[in-house]
Structure 1
Amino acid sequence: MIAAAPTIGQRIDAQYGALSRQEQRAADFILDHLGDLAVYNATELAKLSGVSKATVSRLFRRLGFSDSAEVREHARSLRSQGAPLGGIGAAAGTPSALAAHAVQENENLQKLLAGLDDGRLDAAARLIAGAGEVVLIGLRNSYPLALHLRQQLAQARDRVRLAPVPGQSLGEDIAALGSRDVVVLVGFRRRPSGFGLIMQTLRERGVPVILISDSSARRHAEGAAYWLECPVDSVSAFDSYAAAMSLVNLLASGVLGVDVRDGRTRIASITGMYDALDELETPW
């Protein structure tokens, strides 16, 4: 396998000690503003960092880039892959930054809802409700979402489990699955390299898959029974999963709504078990 080329941040870290004071000043600005790097040219970077344009151009060459256009393309590529970009500082909590964050979160939510108005959410909920067994798979950054969805679905129906169990492999968890079961596969960007093979294996075994992911998983969507696309765009360094959590809420609620009477009976039984085991804190 060909190793991925180092990011601009990694290149700066590797050469920082050998840079001149002025180059270090420009490098510091770049590291603090990686999220904006895709829109700055060399002149703008020089002005903002307080160095000459020649210093910025020299720094880019030291880092292995031919010019600022190549740097901008590199930054766009990193962001599209979900790589964390952007500095961490007090500005993240300023009113303007918080307002921009709110705008982006709302845009993500609106995009999510617009993509669900064709009935696919209800169809996916019915598929989950009627399955023999439901297996939730979420690897790397998708794991917390799969875990939360499993917790919600377990309130609505039985035979819901998370795979793989931490520290274990996936094979034994999907070996017995068939066409009457359902796998909910959560796969947001920066997925592990074997993600496509998981999709292929489930498809070959005839196991219906509900794929929850951002647009970067489009090439995997063809093998899914339903693809629930969820944007994770963010104005900050990291992807945002706020819309994804809303999707989890909607999907689990949809499953519960397929058979409300059975769902209420199950919830009452679970609540009784909580009380019997004294598992939850009382609200007063």
Structure 2
Amino acid sequence: MQELSSKPNGSFVGHVRQTLNSLSPTERKLGEFVLDYPGDLATYTASELAQLVGVSNATVTRFIQRLGYENYEDARRQAREERNSGSPLFLSAPGSKGVEGSVASHIVQAQDNIVATFNHIPAELIDEIALAMVSAGHVWFLGYRSNRNLAAYLRWQLVQMLPRTQLIPGPGETLGEYAVDLGKTDLVLVFALRRSLPMAAKFATTAAQAGARVVYITDHFSKTAVPAEWLLRCHTQAPGPLDNHVSVMLLCHLLATRVMHHAGTKGRRRMASIETLHDGLSELRE
């Protein structure tokens, strides 16, 4: 029989914060370190953590029990779960190198992310989605938090070639006001990389149920089940606490490039008309 873990309700970091003021000086030293680098608990053994902080193994044991955990493994298990959920706090590490020392590692990781991502997203699939966007009656873009910036970027690239595109929801608007009009001629691109709001997946499901074609762009850790026609997973790992979105940006670039190709003469004429209007309005001139 699998042993059940014992853990208090709430987040691991929350337990540490609530308990910090009641700790002894050595336990507080450990608590403050853990608040700065909670991900270390998911990585190190109790002895390794004690050595890293400069306290005894007994201090680590007392500290864990004061937090409400039965043992170190229960606390480490919860820290590991929260680390996988994507909080940048859990991805920070002590003694990180400066910018000069870390540039090479970031470049290597970005290259690895690109290779890992496009090993599962072939050129044919990108072409298929691009064709679907060109033929769609309306293309909608949705994303929350950092995902909204990614959705806005791709929409900005495509608005020059596609006449009916929109980033949703607008200020003060609700998704229901858009969902009511979704149908088989629509295509919805949802960006839902880690730490996205659950509403993104709910809207993708609603759009699919309404008959719209759905492109769901997420990370390789996501386990959210969405009935999307196209599920694209991007690798976003990085040496530091912040996600590396190079593979996502490359995906956006490739989609925009292939849309431009498939939009053909009609798309280029639209771009030319936009440029003429830019000139007439003096929008892009000093």
Q: Does TM, normalized by the shorter one, top 0.5?
A: yes
Picking from 162, 168, 174, the partner of 1:163 is 168
Quick one: distance in 1 between partners of 2:76 and 2:213?
40
One-letter amino acid matched to 1:93: G
Quick one: distance in 2 between partners of 1:233 and 1:207?
31
Quick one: distance in 1 between partners of 2:22 and 2:147?
39
Residue of structure 2 in register with 1:83 after alignment: 87
Against the structure 1 CA distance between its residues 5 and 11, is the aligned structure 2 distance closer, same or farther, given a 3 Å change threshold? Answer: same
Residue of structure 2 in register with 1:273 after alignment: 277
Residue of structure 2 in register with 1:132 after alignment: 137
Cα deviations across residues 157-207 of structure 1 (Å, max 9, x unaligned)? 110011111221011123212111111111122232334432332122111
Name whichever of 69-78 and 81-90 sits farther off.
81-90
Large movers: runs of 4+ above 6 Å:
none
Alignment check: 8 A CA contact 1:31 1:87 kept? no
Residue of structure 2 in register with 1:203 after alignment: 208
Residue of structure 2 in register with 1:53 after alignment: 57
Residue of structure 2 in register with 1:192 after alignment: 197
Q: Alignment identity in percent?
A: 33
In the alignment, structure 1 residue 234 sits paired with structure 2 residue 238: yes
Against the structure 1 CA distance between its residues 234 and 129, is the aligned structure 2 distance closer, same or farther, given a 3 Å change threshold? Answer: same
Alignment check: 8 A CA contact 1:156 1:252 kept? no
Pairwise CA distance, 1:90: 8.0
Cα deviations across residues 214-253 of structure 1 (Å, max 9, x unaligned)? 13444434x1111111122223223332221221111111
SS of match in other structure, 1:244: helix
Picking from 61, 64, 71, the partner of 1:67 is 71
In the alignment, structure 1 residue 99 sits paired with structure 2 residue 89: no
Quick one: distance in 2 between partners of 1:181 and 1:146?
16
Residue of structure 1 in register with 2:28 after alignment: 24
Alignment check: 8 A CA contact 2:190 2:200 kept? no
- Structure 1 spans left out of the alignment, 5+ residues: none
One-letter amino acid matched to 1:30: V
Alignment check: 8 A CA contact 1:188 1:212 kept? yes
Residue of structure 1 in register with 2:257 after alignment: 253
In the alignment, structure 1 residue 123 sits paired with structure 2 residue 128: yes
Against the structure 1 CA distance between its residues 248 and 13, is the aligned structure 2 distance closer, same or farther, given a 3 Å change threshold? Answer: same
One-letter amino acid matched to 2:192: G
SS of match in other structure, 1:31: helix
Quick one: distance in 1 between partners of 2:111 and 2:187?
31
SS of match in other structure, 2:17: helix
Alignment check: 8 A CA contact 2:188 2:213 kept? yes
In the alignment, structure 1 residue 43 sits paired with structure 2 residue 10: no
Quick one: distance in 2 between partners of 1:89 and 1:158?
50
One-letter amino acid matched to 2:182: L
One-letter amino acid matched to 1:113: F
One-letter amino acid matched to 2:255: L
Alignment check: 8 A CA contact 2:192 2:216 kept? yes
SS of match in other structure, 2:231: strand
Q: CA RMSD in A?
A: 2.3
Residue of structure 1 in register with 2:225 after alignment: 220
Picking from 145, 151, 157, the partner of 2:150 is 145
Name whichever of 211-220 and 19-28 sits farther off.
211-220
One-letter amino acid matched to 1:122: D
One-letter amino acid matched to 1:278: S
TM-score normalized with structure 1 length: 0.89
SS of match in other structure, 1:249: helix
Pairwise CA distance, 1:88: 8.1
TM-score normalized with structure 2 length: 0.88
Alignment check: 8 A CA contact 2:188 2:204 kept? no
Pairwise CA distance, 1:153: 1.1
